[in-house]
């Protein structure tokens, strides 16, 4: 029983981590709390669903569609809204409020286009194999979810660590002004970050949509709140923190649902978040920084 | 007279909602006037609504006492969570209040006394139009006096520059807690009035979306004066009725408005300074052409 719960927790936790990685990346580089990240999650799920059901494309194409559609939406939000606010040096809360507006628009558009009912992926498309290790049943789907999530996260780490663009991004995260003086194309990398973060969010949406086989226009809202919890747990803008925070939240949620109370599982995430904020605002793994206003 | 009766029968709920939303927007205006972005006001409204509804349904308290309890219960909660939370600033405070709102919603969803996801049904319709007008007028008057008082000036100083305010000897923590708690009082009142005018309340009405709605109203109207939030609340309550033909896309308009205001009207629709400027320019032009 416990082993089975651990498999569920790992699946959920790795998707939380993937989702939160994009969220924290945008905060680290652009210093924006991007509350439209949940809408990217939802859009990715719908993009894949549409490609798979209407065009009868294989699931792999669905993943690409999720990345592309969500990425382009993230790019559009950055180019049309956030860029102007940066040019004006608007205070931090203003871009956050603008992304709330973008979320409302996208959610409402999805409700108009796809309706409010739960949509499902056709069963024949989902891998049905099950692997049995002792008493534990692992669905091939779960393995694929964990695999894809970790593959994408590793790719992101490698890019940030070892490429020229990655180094430039880390320089921007330290100080955009100094980076611009060094000849780094700051605006271009802001756009690239928005695209990448949104694309990761879109894939996360597809993975959750597949795992529970349910896609709805409102699915971005609960995950956004969990993403916030993860990013606070791990420290805002901290890439490693998002990974550990995501896994931690996955385990905390699944285990408290299994052993404490099935309804209160969600309250655990926010109770934790609330506590962490009060005790360690820089996150569990974060350096103790001066609070950012 | 009959025409009026018809009009009232059709639109009284809508007019009640405008008043209650105006009260909510003013409650957020108060917290924002001290520089605090709180996403907890929807939860405070919910606490007020549930407290009031439970007192009416189970203990049959008289309505004025119910309203008072509906205002004081969230204020007590605000005092307790405010003391540790308000050490955070900016986005961190917004996130903490968001988390508080979610915890509250999940608790209400799972407790027995609150009726769980079905909510509370059969709340007597005790709110009349003059209750709302009276409370809104009293709140407006109190806030207008507050703005010009020592406390209001301190709020403004803290919003503009916290460090400078502290250097001037202002008790920053105390004033922040006061703004947060008074905001909770107004939000709780709005909740209590709302519970007794809609017959039915459920946890769905007090979640993140509602916190965002309150924020949108206040930002749309602008926070440079008290007229702004009331104007924003009125527009955003009436707009969906006018946009019925858009069906599911209706809410997209709210989002577009929010983005548009943030991009093009950073001070909101009602900016007294801009209006004075426009008025002066208009007068000058009229005097220029005899």
The confidence band for A290, taking pLDDT boundaries of 50, 70 and 90, is: very low
Q: Mean pLDDT, to the nearest integer, of B230-257?
A: 83
Q: Does B251 touch chain A (CB under 8 A)?
A: yes
The answer to whether residues B120 and B50 touch, using CB atoms and an 8 Å cutoff, is yes
Please report the pLDDT score of residue A289 as a whole number. Answer: 45
The confidence band for A262, taking pLDDT boundaries of 50, 70 and 90, is: low
Q: Does A97 touch chain B (CB under 8 A)?
A: yes
Select B2-288's CATH number: 1.20.120, 1.10.3470, 3.40.720, 2.40.128: 1.10.3470
Per-residue exposure over B113-137, b if at least 16 CB sit within 10 Å of its own CB, e if not: ebbeeebbeebeebbeeebbeebbe
Output the CA torsion A219→A30→A24→A224 (10° steps). -20
CA distance B133 to chain A (A): 30
pLDDT digits (tens, 9 = 90+) for B99-136: 888 888 888 888 888 887 888 888 888 888 888 999 99
Question: A274 vs B266: CB contact, 8 Å cut-off?
Answer: no
Please report the pLDDT score of residue A46 as a whole number. Answer: 95
- Determine the Cα–Cα distance for residues B270 and B229; give it in Å rounded to an integer: 9
Q: Which of A271-280, B73-82, B199-208 has the lowest mean pLDDT?
A: A271-280
Nearest to B258 among A101, A236, A267 (CB): A101
Assign 3-class secondary structure to A193-262.
Answer: HHHHHHHHHHHHHHHHHHHHCCECCCCHHHHHHHHHHHHHHHCCCCHHHHHHHHHHHHHHHHHHHHHCCC
Q: Which residue has the tokens 């692992």?
A: A138
Chain A residues whose beta carbon lies within 8 Å of the beta carbon of residue B172: none
% of chain A surpassing 70 pLDDT = 94
Question: A90 vs B256: CB contact, 8 Å cut-off?
Answer: no
Chain B residues whose beta carbon lies within 8 Å of the beta carbon of residue A84: 263
Question: Taking all residues of chain A, what is their mean pLDDT, rounded to a whole number?
Answer: 86
Q: Does B80 touch chain A (CB under 8 A)?
A: no
pLDDT digits (tens, 9 = 90+) for A142-181: 888 999 999 999 999 999 888 988 888 888 888 888 888 8
A96 Cβ contact list (under 8 Å, min separation 6)? A32, A33, A34, A35, B91, B94
Question: A104 vs B219: CB contact, 8 Å cut-off?
Answer: no
Question: A274 vs B99: CB contact, 8 Å cut-off?
Answer: yes
The confidence band for B138, taking pLDDT boundaries of 50, 70 and 90, is: very high
Question: Taking all residues of chain B, what is their mean pLDDT, rounded to a whole number?
Answer: 88
Quick check: A273 pLDDT over 80? no
| Residue A137, helix vs strand vs coil | strand
Chain A residues whose beta carbon lies within 8 Å of the beta carbon of residue B84: 278
Q: Mean pLDDT, to the nearest integer, of B29-56?
A: 93
Please report the pLDDT score of residue B255 as a whole number. Answer: 87
Q: Mean pLDDT, to the nearest integer, of B160-174?
A: 91
- Determine the Cα–Cα distance for residues B28 and B16; give it in Å rounded to an integer: 19
Q: Where are the domains of chain B?
A: 2-288
Using the Cα atoms of residue A57, residue A59, residue A60 and residue A62 in order, give the sign of their dihedral. positive
| Residue B71, helix vs strand vs coil | helix
Nearest to B98 among A84, A228, A264 (CB): A228
Q: Does A225 touch chain B (CB under 8 A)?
A: yes
Residue B181: which H helix or E strand, with range? helix B172-198
The answer to whether residues A229 and B99 touch, using CB atoms and an 8 Å cutoff, is yes
Please report the pLDDT score of residue A33 as a whole number. Answer: 87
B210 token code pair: 């509602």
Quick check: B238 pLDDT over 50? yes
Chain B residues whose beta carbon lies within 8 Å of the beta carbon of residue A109: 249, 252
Quick check: B154 pLDDT over 60? yes
The answer to whether residues B103 and B213 touch, using CB atoms and an 8 Å cutoff, is no
CA distance B158 to chain A (A): 13
Question: B89 vs A221: CB contact, 8 Å cut-off?
Answer: no
Quick check: B137 pLDDT over 90? yes
Question: B90 vs A93: CB contact, 8 Å cut-off?
Answer: yes
Question: Minimal CA–CA distance to B211: which of B64, B62, B102?
Answer: B102
Q: Where are the alpha helices (DSSP H) in chain B?
A: 2-33, 41-54, 63-85, 90-110, 129-148, 150-160, 162-167, 172-198, 208-221, 227-242, 250-264, 272-288
Q: How many CB atoms lie within 10 A of CB A227?
A: 30
Quick check: A248 pLDDT over 80? yes
Q: Does A270 touch chain B (CB under 8 A)?
A: yes
Per-residue exposure over A142-160, b if at least 16 CB sit within 10 Å of its own CB, e if not: bbbbbebbeebbeebeeeb
Quick check: A291 pLDDT over 60? no
Task: State the complex-level ipTM.
Answer: 0.83
Q: Does A140 touch chain B (CB under 8 A)?
A: no
Quick check: A88 pLDDT over 90? no
A214 Cβ contact list (under 8 Å, min separation 6)? A118, A119, A120
Please report the pLDDT score of residue A285 as a whole number. Answer: 60
């Amino acid at each position: 029983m416990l082993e089975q719960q651990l498999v569920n927790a790992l699946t959920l936790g790795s998707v939380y981590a993937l989702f939160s990685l994009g969220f924290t990346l945008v905060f680290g580089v652009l210093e924006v709390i991007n509350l439209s990240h949940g809408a990217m999650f939802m859009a990715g799920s719908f993009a894949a669903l549409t490609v798979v059901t209407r065009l009868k494309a294989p699931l792999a194409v669905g993943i690409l569609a999720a990345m592309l559609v969500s990425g382009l939406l993230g790019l559009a939000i950055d180019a049309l809204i956030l860029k102007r606010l940066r040019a004006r040096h608007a205070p931090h809360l203003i871009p956050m409020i603008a992304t709330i507006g973008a979320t409302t628009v996208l959610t409402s558009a999805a409700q108009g286009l796809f309706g409010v009912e739960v949509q499902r992926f056709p069963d024949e498309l989902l891998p049905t194999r099950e692997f049995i290790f002792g008493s534990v049943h692992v669905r091939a789907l779960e393995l694929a979810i964990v695999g894809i999530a970790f593959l994408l996260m590793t790719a992101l780490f490698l890019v940030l660590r070892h490429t020229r663009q990655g180094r430039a991004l880390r320089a921007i995260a330290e100080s955009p002004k100094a980076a611009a003086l060094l000849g780094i194309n700051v605006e271009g990398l802001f756009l690239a970050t928005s695209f990448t973060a949104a694309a990761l969010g879109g894939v996360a949406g597809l993975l959750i949509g597949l795992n529970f086989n349910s896609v709805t226009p409102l699915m971005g809202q609960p995950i956004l709140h969990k993403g916030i919890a993860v990013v606070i747990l791990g420290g805002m803008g901290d890439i490693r923190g998002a990974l550990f925070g995501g896994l931690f939240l996955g385990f905390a949620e699944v285990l408290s649902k299994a052993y404490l109370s099935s309804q209160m599982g969600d309250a655990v995430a926010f109770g934790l978040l609330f506590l962490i904020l009060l005790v360690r605002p820089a996150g569990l793994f974060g350096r103790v920084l001066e609070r950012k206003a | 007279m009959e025409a009026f009766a018809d009009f009232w029968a059709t639109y009284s709920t809508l007019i009640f909602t405008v008043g209650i939303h105006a009260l909510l927007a003013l409650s957020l205006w108060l917290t924002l006037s001290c520089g605090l972005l709180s996403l907890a006001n929807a939860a405070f409204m919910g606490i007020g609504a549930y407290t009031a509804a439970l007192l009416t349904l189970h203990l049959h308290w008289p309505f004025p006492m119910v309203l008072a309890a509906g205002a004081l219960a969230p204020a007590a909660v605000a005092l307790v969570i405010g003391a540790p939370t308000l050490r955070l600033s900016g986005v961190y405070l917004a996130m903490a209040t968001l988390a508080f709102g979610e915890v509250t919603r999940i608790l209400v969803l799972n407790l027995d006394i609150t009726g769980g996801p079905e909510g509370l049904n059969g709340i007597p319709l005790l709110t009349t139009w003059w209750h709302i007008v009276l409370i809104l007028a009293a709140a407006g008057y109190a806030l207008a006096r507050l703005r010009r008082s020592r406390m209001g000036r301190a709020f403004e100083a803290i919003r503009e520059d916290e460090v400078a305010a502290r250097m001037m000897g202002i008790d920053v923590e105390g004033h922040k807690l006061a703004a947060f708690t008074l905001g909770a009082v107004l939000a709780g009142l709005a909740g209590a009035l709302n519970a007794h005018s809609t017959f039915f309340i459920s946890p769905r009405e007090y979640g993140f979306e509602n916190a965002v709605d309150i924020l949108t109203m206040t930002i749309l109207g602008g926070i440079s004066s008290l007229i702004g939030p009331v104007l924003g609340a009125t527009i955003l309550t009436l707009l969906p009725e006018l946009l019925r033909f858009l069906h599911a896309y209706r809410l997209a308009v709210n989002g577009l408005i929010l983005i548009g205001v943030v991009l093009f009207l950073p001070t909101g629709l009602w900016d007294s300074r801009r209006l004075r400027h426009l008025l002066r320019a208009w007068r000058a032009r009229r005097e220029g052409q005899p």
